[in-house]
Each structure stands twice: as C-alpha cells, then as structure tokens.
C-alpha cells in the first residue's frame, strides 16, 4: 500500500514536470501541493476521510489559510473534529490560493 502510494506520487510529480509553468493561482498547482503536503493525513481524494484527517473538499480559503498557516480556525467556524493533531505548515503561505482552488 505504502509503496504504491509512493509510486503514484512519483508518477504524479514527473507527469506534472512536463506541463508548462502557469502563472497565478491554479487548481493544478494546488493539487501538487496537496499531494506533497496533505495526503500523509488527508485522503488523496479530498471528498473522503483520510488515515488521520477528515474530508476537506469544499473548505473555504479562510479555513485553509487558518489551518495550514497557524493550525487554527477562522472565527466562529465549527471544526469537523475536536482533536488538535494537524501541524501548521507556514512554509506553504504562497500556496494557499492554489490549495483553495484545488479544494473548492
Ligand atoms: C499531520 C497530519 C496532517 C497533515 C499533514 C495535514 N492535516 Fe489537515 N487535518 C488533520 C487533522 C487530524 C485534522 C482534524 C483537526 C485536528 O485534529 O487538527 C485536520 C483538519 C484540517 C482542516 C479542517 C477541517 C474542518 O472543516 O474542520 C483543513 C481545511 C485541513 N486540515 C487542511 C489541510 C491541508 C490543506 C493540508 C496540507 C497543506 C493539511 N491539512 C495537512 C491532519 C493533517
């Protein structure tokens, strides 16, 4: 299982290398970031629950930003889980728009 996921990732990354670089936010770039940084916990299919994290398809940009940059929630948001397992990934600040497009 682990090996096939890894093989899939490699395939995915090399397939994406051949695409022309797009400027500006894009769902494609968001998908790359998602597969590189999120699927350790969330499902490769964001409409489904992952090994650790919940389904996150349809998350707003405000929610993604708060979670990914600070491991927080936007004011008034009711989290899907009460746990605090997710780590902040502030190095992804430049990819929030891409992630939001991919997950919308
Ligand atoms: C270490 C595992 C882990 C990683 C890596 C991770 N998450 Fe999470 N995520 C979780 C868990 C677990 C939750 C549920 C709340 C908690 O326990 O922190 C969560 C919750 C969320 C939520 C809120 C869901 C809701 O509506 O309540 C969003 C949005 C989210 N993650 C997005 C992301 C994105 C985007 C990435 C990649 C940039 C990512 N996560 C990477 C584990 C992870």
For residue range 44-61, what is the model confidence (pLDDT) as tens digits?
A: 999 999 999 999 999 999
- pLDDT, residue 23, reads 80
Question: Is pLDDT above 70 for 17?
Answer: no
Arithmetic mean of pLDDT, 81-88: 97
Question: Is pLDDT above 70 for 5?
Answer: no
Q: How far is the CA of 78 from the centre of ligand 1 (A)?
A: 14
- pLDDT, residue 83, reads 97
Provide residues with CB under 6 Å of ligand 1.
37-38, 40-42, 52-54, 56, 59, 63-64, 67-68, 79-81, 83-87, 89, 92, 99
CA distances for 32 relative to 3, 9, 50, 75, 80, angstroms: 19, 9, 17, 28, 24
Protein residue with its CA nearest to atom 43 in ligand 1? 86
Ligand 1 atom having least distance to the Cα of 103 = 35
Give residue-wise pLDDT tens across range 26-41: 999 999 999 999 999 9
- pLDDT, residue 22, reads 62
Ligand 1 atom having least distance to the Cα of 92 = 38
Question: Is pLDDT above 80 for 18?
Answer: no
Taking a C-beta distance cutoff of 8 angstroms, is the pair 104, 58 a contact?
A: yes
Taking a C-beta distance cutoff of 8 angstroms, is the pair 49, 55 a contact?
A: yes
Q: How far is the CA of 84 from the centre of ligand 1 (A)?
A: 9
């Amino acid at each position: 299982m682990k090996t096939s996921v890894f093989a899939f990732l490699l395939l995915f990354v090399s397939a994406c290398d051949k695409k022309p670089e797009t400027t500006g936010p894009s769902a494609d770039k968001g998908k790359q970031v998602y597969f590189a940084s999120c699927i350790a916990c969330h499902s490769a299919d964001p409409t489904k629950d992952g090994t650790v994290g919940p389904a996150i398809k349809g998350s707003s940009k405000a929610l993604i930003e708060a979670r990914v940059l600070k491991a927080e929630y936007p004011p008034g948001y009711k989290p899907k889980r009460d746990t605090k397992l997710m780590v902040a990934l502030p190095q992804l600040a430049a990819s929030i728009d891409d992630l939001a497009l991919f997950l919308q």
